Amino acid sequence: MSANTDRQVPRVLSIAGTDPTGGAGLHADLKSIAAFGGYGMGAVTAVVAQNTTGVQSVHPLPLETVRAQLESVSDDVQIDAVKIGMLGGSGVVETVRAWLEEVRPPNVVLDPVMVASSGDRLLDADAEASVRELVRLADLVTPNIPELAVLLEEEPAEAWATARRQAERLAVEWDVAVLLKGGHLDGETAPDAVVTRDGIAERESDRIRTRNTHGTGCSLSSAMATAAAWGLTWEEALDSAKDWLGGAIAAADALRVGHGHGPVDHGHHVRDAVVEQLGLARAWTVRQWEASADVRRVAEQSPFVAALAEGTLERARFDWYLEQDLLYLRDYARVLARAAQLAPTSEEQVFWARASAGCLEEEAQLHEASVSAEGVRAAETTLAYTQHLEACTASGSYAVVVAAVLPCFWLYQDVGERLGRAASPGHPYEDWLSAYGADEFRELTLRAIEITEGAAQAVSPAERERMAWAFQRSMEKEREFFEAPWTADLETGPAR
């Protein structure tokens, strides 16, 4: 790697396939390069029809077209770094390899797209052999754990220590830096490491629970390439890239792009400045959602939710939760009815009235199919939540009431959608997951957000402060509600 001493804006070339939804491939690379202050260029290897739910078709470009694109760039532009992504077949791999040998650009980062997230092999044996040869021309290779195993013709590592040994072997035998990524492993933390023949530099971060991680590998590798072109070492590049990508993953849910595994938010770090420059006010609801990130993370990573997601949650504990939720829903329905009474428009009155009725009918029907609240006392967490909602209702402020009820829509939709799409057929709690992960509930949530946003824009700053308190307090109560079933005494606990 050569240091960039004159602060020349890095000119970074991505060689990859496309993604029309913008989450992965060449599109993600260009966003990542821009996020790291570089000037992005792109040579397309294949036109891919894909979205957040999967790949529909792949159209590889003719080899002469790929070669012509590469020559168009290198004949005219000084290249400071190259990121190589999806190549497809051995013909494209050989075309790119021949061009690299002729041009010898600096800071070559190879993301060997060889194994899908499902574990399916994406290349035939000839193409895999060609990719192994291409590794020898790279400065940094960024395989996931299954791809690392393919490169070494070994079995995929199931533990971080084994993956480290494999990365060390690749680094030493092929004289290349390896970015080892632990995202495929289980655990509360997500380790990464830069492995060279001189040693290992490890970095660890908390694992962010979200299903919206489409294109993280592409984004990380292109960010690393751009950082290196600025003159950073691979270790320094990893520090910067992990910080940025962690924020992009944390902000991913707010994008609401697609119905499957959505993209990360490549522009999260500059959006506030852009919004301010444009003279726009950042959405109040988005600010509140982001402000509740720590509370939501605790709720979503609670043992109850984790066991629910895995399908290992004992039925008695789930029934305890359902009994409390049924008691809560009866009070929640009354608060929704009060929102309908206070609503300033007939359309909003109808929305909240229908939500109240649906709360009593559809939700109670789902719960009462399994349990009954007959003779059940409300637990302290249930009482505390409903008392908070009643206090907000007593304020007589429509804006405060809708802010208080919104977290129950939003958090359940967010959790239900994630868990519902990850649940396998025959999941023991499939009915519950499908109810909150359904498109219909998503549409209700989006409308509730829209109404609350309108209410926030219509009131004074002081009233918005009261709305913020009501929203954040409700989110805290949601966290407590998710935590309570795990610690409840099922024999003599407060529910009976």
215 is catalytic: yes
Catalytic one of 45, 52, 213, 445 = 213
CA within 13 Å, CB half, 429: 28
Q: What is the DSSP string of 201-245?
A: EEEEEEPP--S--BTHHHHHHHHHHHHHHTT--HHHHHHHHHHHH
What's the CA gap between 4 and 231, in Å, rounded? 5
Is residue 6 within 8 A of residue 32, CB to CB? The reply is: no
Is residue 231 within 8 A of residue 216, CB to CB? The reply is: no
What H or E segment, with its residue span, contains residue 74? helix 63-74
What's the CA gap between 119 and 143, in Å, rounded? 13
Buried b (16+ CB within 10 A) or exposed e, 340-349: bebbeeeebe
Residues 6+ apart with CB under 8 A from 409: 444, 445, 448, 449
- C-alpha dist (Å) from residue 438 to 97, 363, 410, 446: 47, 13, 13, 13
233 is catalytic: no
What's the CA gap between 348 and 361, in Å, rounded? 20
Catalytic one of 217, 262, 416, 420 = 217
Is residue 216 within 8 A of residue 183, CB to CB? The reply is: yes
What SS3 string covers 267-286? CCCCHHHHHHHCCCCCCHHH
Smallest CA-to-CA distance from 1 within 83, 85, 80 is with 80
Is residue 15 within 8 A of residue 250, CB to CB? The reply is: no
Helix (H, G, I), strand (E, B) or coil at 50: strand
- C-alpha dist (Å) from residue 442 to 102, 210, 427, 432: 53, 16, 21, 14
Catalytic one of 25, 38, 88, 215 = 215
What's the CA gap between 128 and 150, in Å, rounded? 8
Catalytic one of 23, 83, 88, 181 = 181
181 is catalytic: yes
216 is catalytic: yes
Smallest CA-to-CA distance from 52 within 28, 88, 29, 34 is with 28
Smallest CA-to-CA distance from 34 within 243, 212, 219, 279 is with 219
Catalytic one of 210, 216, 285, 393 = 216
217 is catalytic: yes
Give the residue numbers annotated as catalytic, written as ranges.
181, 213, 215-218
